[in-house]
Amino acid sequence: MRLHSVVAATGSALMLVLAIPGSASAATGQFRYSYQTADGYDAVGFINNPQSGRCIEIRGAGSDDTSAAYAPKNLTDATATVFLEAGCRGDAFYSLRPGAGASERLLVRSVVFS
């Protein structure tokens, strides 16, 4: 009878663990940035509820020095680290705390959220 109780308790505990959702792995809010289109027009891009811990390439930001996105605004609840290079690489990076924005001088091509 004791073995039956142990098995039942273990099974119940396992069901409870599986029923509880894991911690969210996304920042809540929006990350905004400006960029220039191929036709030379100014545009605004955004990323809604970005995944945390994953490098995100910024759409509209090219690989040459003249077409990086600029003026990022971190309207999420997580810290955003923006990079001048694609792939969240390089020594040129800047951290934006939640709710912070940067000037048009800050050029970005990729971002990762903590």
CATH architecture label of 29-113: Sandwich (2.60)
pTM here?
0.74
**What are the pLDDT digits (tens) for 12-42?**
444 443 444 444 478 999 999 999 988 889 9
Q: Which residues pair with 95 in a beta bridge?
A: 81
Give the residue among 71, 65, 58, 60 at the shortest CA–CA distance from 113: 58
pLDDT over 80 at 105, yes or no: yes
